[in-house]
Structure 1
Amino acid sequence: MAKLCDVSVATVSRVINNNGRFSEETRKKVLDVIEKYQYSTNRVAQTLRMNKSKTIGIIVPDISNEFFSTIVHEIESYFFEKGFSTFICNTDKSREKERAYIKSLDAKMVDGLICISGQEEIEASLLNRDIPIVCIDRRPRMKNNLAMIESDHFQGGYGATDHLIKKGCKNLIVLTKKSNLSSVNDRVEGFKKALAEHAYPFTDDLIVVTADDRKHNIEKARDAIRRELEKGRTFDGVFATNDWLALGVVRELIESGLSVPEDVKVVGFDDDTIAKYSEVPLTTIKQDIHQIAKEASEIFFNLLTDKDIQIADNHIKVPVTLVERQTT
């Protein structure tokens, strides 16, 4: 608050309490910032006294996504019980919206940020204060005052591919979205590792990429598989890096006259609700959403309440499990 006004904390306090000496220009500057960012004077005064706002910000790329929304709900519930209010900011995977939200949350004097997936880079220049940040499923380059919690995506990609091979698949592909996210890249690297361990050759064309799209788009997956089939390509195993892509694969294969899993076996990733209730229930890699939310909440709370805390492990990988259903 004081930085936004370009005055000292003591001056802001004098203006709010109308006590002491300050110019009319300073008074107007402070009150304009309070009005612009919709602070209540009671909350501002409390923040100045305690250097804490009892608020946190959550940056989420797609609140309609089941994985993200479940995590946000559990984190919000945890901090509500601890007496914190939560600002939830949905970015629609837009870099510009994320930047704007981070600046706004910093201006609102949140005590810390939880950033879920989205852009890899969190620009330190957007923050005027050194506040705790916990990242879920993203690896930003900044290191200070930061912890990261994610599923073991590499092991998930490896396990999915290993399962397909052990089920007899000889010609495998991985279907993924165009992305630079560490979580997606790790899943693909796990695919490569499993191929290598089974002495299956890897070539770049084994990675099939859908057209760029911000949402989990079944039609984009169908289009990508249709193109491969029209080229005369044959494959008997598909690892899709999320369940929506896997569902698109299954639908396109069936409409093309192929049987799942007799002709082609398919494994997805996430274990969204659709995996269990799709037309052919999906074999998939299950992320432990509840454990991710629990780890993130507890670490973040410790960072917020103990400025001197030293986290023994600030990069936590939560194990994943294979859930076998009818697509393999």
Structure 2
Amino acid sequence: MATIEDVAKLAGLSRTTVSRVINDQPYVTEEKRQRIIQAMNDLGYVPNSSARRLRSQRTETIAVLLPRLTNPFFGNLIEAMEEKASEWGYQVIVCQTHDSKKKEMDYLQLLKTKQVDGIIMASLVNDWEVVEPYLESGPIVFCNEYMDESCIPMVHMDHKQAAYEATVHLLEQGCKQIAYVTGGPESHLSKERRKGFTSALSEYNLPFIEDMTIDWAMDVSDGQKVFHMISNEFTQVDGIFTGSDEVAAGLIYEAASSDWRIPDDLAVVGFDNQMLSLLMVPSVTTIEQPVKQMADKTVEVLIQQLLHPGTLPAQKYVFPHQLLIRNSTKRKKLSIQ
């Protein structure tokens, strides 16, 4: 097995120079760097990555905190992040919090104990002042989630505006009694969507009815339960804004089983443009997020913070969304986007 000394001998350079190239350090000319790389290739020499990590005190690992991986949105986000991170020589570990404050804090300890180099938070359960001290141990970047009072980079779309546009669309279809269905109501993201929802109602001189708010609906089975709540307790509801295509799909499926007509009896809006939204009958009107672009930017921003600590501003990167109008809301002739 080839050693670093063998590489140095074949390249005709010192062991120190070879070590500098292996550890990607400066002060080596490009000509010498190429000689060393060629010698490594000729000898089949592979640097000991574990030793390099110990010397640099880096793990070359990023942790991504999210509520649950079973949500296709987060599955797609992780896939894109892992692909981008590998281009930089980093690996990604997934940490599911299940919206638990304790689990979120436990995973943040990975940064404090130097088990990961940085953290991406795709959700936030705790208050920011609880999370902020961990910045002393390494960089944190928000993706999808965001909070104005935080002092870290944030990559997201405008959830308030997206919810506003979706609600206005329901109102334009003639809906007068619109229920608001959300996941974790305490997250900043959910609060922003609620602001957009209430803003649209106010613009149409309609009140926000707290009783028609349903919290902690996250998947298909929750959507089925939501329908039964609507059909038994809120029969006046003629439109629903949901924060998930899964919830919308469960709701539509159960409505069809009960001989409700979608969208004539009940218009439904989902969120995230998951494949499920296209497969449903009727297809689900939804908000599309640019998942890959957001994932790529988040990884890039985090790694730049690792490479240049303390030199980059805490910017906001807001990506555009799109309201895709489909059959679950089309009560009159509208073009499908």
TM bracket, shorter-chain basis = 0.7 to 0.9
- 1:323 maps to 2:324: yes
Question: Aligned partners of 1:217 and 1:55: how far apart in 2?
Answer: 30
Offset, 1:118: 4.3
Query: Counterpart of 1:113 in 2: which secondary structure?
Result: strand
Look up the equivalent residue of 1:87 and give its one-letter code: I
Q: Could you give the per-residue CA deviations for residues 35-61 of structure 1, whole angstroms, max 9, x where no partner exists?
A: xxxxxxx76764464343322222232
- The verdict on how the C-alpha distance between 1:52 and 1:180 changes in structure 2, with shifts beyond 3 A counting, is same
Q: CA deviation at 1:113?
A: 1.0
Classify the secondary structure of the residue corresponding to 1:325. Answer: coil
- Kept after mapping to 2: 8 A contact 1:158/1:193: yes
Which residue identity lines up with residue 135 of structure 1 in the other structure?
Answer: F
Deviation per CA, 1:49-75, whole angstroms, max 9, x where unpaired? 434332222223212221112111111
Change (3 A) 1:140 1:46: farther
- Would the alpha carbon gap of residues 89 and 279 (structure 1) be closer, same or farther in structure 2, given more than 3 Å must change? same
1:81 aligns with 2:97: no
Larger radius of gyration: 2
Question: In 2 relative to 1, CA 236–142 (structure 1 residues): closer, same or farther, beyond 3 Å?
Answer: closer
CA RMSD of aligned residues (A): 2.6
On the 8 A contact 2:118/2:139 being kept in 1, the answer is yes
Give per-residue Cα distances to partners, 1:213-239, cap 9 Å, x unaligned.
Answer: 6xx332333323323322363122111
Match of 1:132 among 112, 125, 139: 139
Task: Note if contact 2:184-2:190 (Cα within 8 Å) is conserved in structure 1.
Answer: no
The amino acid that maps onto 1:100 is: D
How far off is 1:252 after superposition? 3.0
Q: Distance in 2 between matches of 1:76 and 1:272?
A: 20
Letter of the 2:326 counterpart: R
1:20-169 equivalences under 5 Å are 46-47=52-53, 49-121=55-127, 123-124=130-131, 127=134, 129-139=136-146, 143-144=150-151, 146-169=152-175
**Structure 2 equivalent of residue 251 of structure 1:** 253
Counterpart residue identity of residue 222, structure 1: Q
Structure 1 unmatched ranges of 5 or more? 1-41
Equivalent residue letter for 2:95: C
Any conservation in 2 of the 1:155–1:320 contact (CA below 8 Å)?
Answer: no
Aligned AA for 2:140?
I
- TM-score, normalised on structure 2? 0.75
Residue 202 of structure 2: aligned partner: 196
- State the SS of the aligned residue for 2:117: coil
Number of matched pairs: 281
> Helix, strand or coil: the match of 1:188?
helix
Report runs of 4+ in structure 1 exceeding 6 Å deviation: none
Equivalent residues of 1:302, 1:309 under 8 A apart: no
Report the Cα distance in structure 1 between the residues aligned to 2:187 and 2:234, rounded to whole angstroms: 31
- Does structure 1 retain, via aligned residues, the 8 Å contact 2:212–2:234? no
Instruction: Give the direction of change, closer, same or farther, for the CA distance of 1:250–1:142 in structure 2 (3 Å limit).
Output: same
Q: Quick check: 2:225–2:251 contact (8 Å CA) kept in 1? A: no
Label 1:232 to 1:268 Cα distance change in 2 as closer, same or farther (>3 A). Answer: closer
Amino acid at match of 1:101: Y
TM superposition shift of 1:152: 1.1
Q: Which residue type is aligned with residue 132 of structure 1? A: P
1:79 is displaced (CA, Å) by 1.6
Give the 3 Å change call, closer, same or farther, for CA 265–300 of structure 1 in structure 2: same
Amino acid at match of 1:58: V
Q: Return the alpha-carbon distance in structure 2 between the equivalents of residues 108 and 274 of structure 1.
A: 39
Structure 2, unaligned stretches of length 5 or more? 1-47, 330-337
2:221 corresponds to 1:219: yes
Query: After superposition, what is the alpha-carbon deviation per residue over 1:252-273, rounded to whole angstroms, capped at 9, x for unaligned?
Result: 3223322111222111111111
Secondary structure of the 1:69 match is helix
The residue number in structure 2 matching 1:186 is 192
% identical equivalent positions:
28
